[in-house]
Amino acid sequence: MALGNDRASSKPLIERRSIDYIPEAERHGRLLSQFTLWLGANLQITAIVTGALAVVLGGDVFWSLIGLLIGQLLGGGVMALHAAQGPKLGLPQMISSRVQFGVYGAAIPMVLVCLMYLGFTATGTVLSGQALGQMFGVSDSLGILMFASIIVLVTVLGYRVIHYIGRVASVIGVVAFFYLFSRLLSQTDISALLAIRHFSWSSFLLAVSLAASWQIAFGPYVADYSRYLPSKTSPLKTFFAAGAGSVIGAQVAMVLGVFAAALSKGQFAGREVAYIVGLGGSGAIAAMLYFSIAFGKVTISTLNSYGSFMCIATIISGFRGELKVTRLQRLVFVLLIVGAATLIALLGQHSFLGAFKSFILFLLAFFTPWSAINLVDFYCITKERYDIPALSNPDGRYGRWNVMGIGIYVFGVLVQMPFISTHFYTGPLVASLGDTDISWIIGLVVPAALYYACAKKWHGAVPEQLILPVEQGAANEQKLSEAGRAAAV
C-alpha cells in the first residue's frame, strides 16, 4: 500500500493518460479512495431531489424509504460489478464494450451514454447555479456559468484531482448532512411521518426505480475511476468499496429528500436548493450550506464530464484505430461537452423537476441492457479473458461490428417499451400493471439471459488468458534477453 502511495506522489498533477491502457508501473491508489469518491459523489443535492420525487409523485414516507433502499442495493450491485473491472483491465469502462459490440459497433451505446452525461451534467449545473447564485447574490444564470468554469478546470486536470476532490467532498458532505439531519430531527416529529403507511405498488416501484436507475446510470463510467488501482487489487474489495460508498451516500441523501418533500407542503418543487438550506438556518450557516451544495456537485458533475470525454475519445479512436488523445484534444472535447451541458442548463433551468424525473427514468431503457450484456460477457462468457491490444484493431479478434451483441442490445431496449412509463413515452402494458414501470427489471433480466444463451453457443475465440499490451519495461527486458541469447550463440 505504501508503494501505491509513493507511485501516486511521483505522478504529475495533470493526468497524461486518457483511454489507453494504464501500465502496472503507473498504477496507484487505495480502495478507500473508491469509497470516498462515490460517497462524496452521492452526498449532494441532485440525490436529495431524486429521493424527494418518491413523495412528490404520490408515495408516503415509510414505503418510499423502503423502496429507495431496495433500489439502491439492486442498482448498486450492478454498478459495483462494473467498478471491479477497472483494476483488472486498466481501461475506462466503455472501451470494453468493443468485446461485445465490435470496435465500431461499441459506438452505438457510447453515443447514448454521452447524451446521458450531458443530461446529468446539465441538471446538476442547474442546482449548483442556484446555490452559487444565492451564495454570492447573483443570478442563477451567472451561477451556472461560474460552476461550469470550475468543472472544465477539474475535468482537464483529471484522475488524481478528481479523487482528491472526492475525498474533500465526502468530508464536507458528511458534516453538512449530519447537521441537516440533526436540525430536521429537532424540529419535526419523524415518527408521525413514518406512522402514515398507505402502500401502493405504483408508488413503491417508482421509488425502487428512482434509486435503481440512479445507481445503474453510474455503470458506464465507474471503472474509469478504479482503472489506476494495481491489477492485483481484490475485485471483491473493489466491489464493496465503490458499491458501499455509492449506496450509503445516495440513500442518506434520498432519505433527506423524502423527509424534506413530506414536510414542504408543496413548497419543494421549483425551489429545491433554497428549501433544503432553509431547513438548516440562515446567515453564515446558510452560506456554508450553499457552499457544501455547490462543492458536492463539483464531484459528480466532473465525473459526468470526464466520463463523457472518455466516451467521445473512445468513439473517435475506434474509427481511427489508435488509443492516444493529446492534451489539446482533451481540452477541446471537455470545452464542447461542458459548453453543451451549460447551454441545456441555461435553457431548462425553470422547468427542472418534472423534466429530471422523466429523464432519469427513461434512461433505464438504454443502459440496463448494456449493463446486462457487458457483465454477463465479462463474468460468465469470457471470464475476464480479454485481448486488450485487439480492442483498438478493427481487423482483429473482435471485428468491426458484432451483430449478435448489437442485436441483443437493440432487442433489450425494445422489449422494455411496453413497460415504460415516463413523460416522453408510456407503454401499452403500463395501465394494466397499475401504472407501474417495471421496464428496468425486464431490461436487466431478458438481455442477460439471451446474451448468455447466444454467446455460449456462438461466441468468438476467447483467449486462454487476459492478454495485456507489452509494457515498456517488459519489452526492454525481452530485448536484452534476446540479445543475450544471440550473443551466447
Average pLDDT on 306-328 reads 79
Rounded to the nearest 10 degrees, the angle between the axes of helix 107-136 and helix 140-157 is 130
Q: How confident is the model at residue 149 (pLDDT cuts 50, 70, 90)?
A: very high
Q: How confident is the model at residue 242 (pLDDT cuts 50, 70, 90)?
A: very high
The answer on pLDDT for 188 being more than 60 is yes
Cβ distance 216 to 440 under 8 Å?
Answer: yes
Joined grid coordinates for residue 44: 449532494
CA distances from 251 to 69, 207, 245, 427 (A): 6, 12, 10, 29
Q: How confident is the model at residue 481 (pLDDT cuts 50, 70, 90)?
A: very low
Indicate the pTM of the whole model. 0.85
Superfamily for 29-468? Hydantoin permease (1.10.4160.10)
Distance of CA 99 to the CA centre of its chain: 21
CA distance 418 to 71: 21
Rounded to the nearest 10 degrees, the angle between the axes of helix 201-216 and helix 352-362 is 80
- Contacts of residues 471-478 at CB distance under 8 Å and 24 or more positions apart, as own/partner, are 471/23, 471/24, 471/25, 472/23, 473/23, 473/25
Task: Phi first, then psi: give them for residue 264, nearest 5 degrees.
Answer: -75, -20
pLDDT digits (tens, 9 = 90+) for 434-471: 777 788 889 999 999 999 999 988 877 788 898 988 75
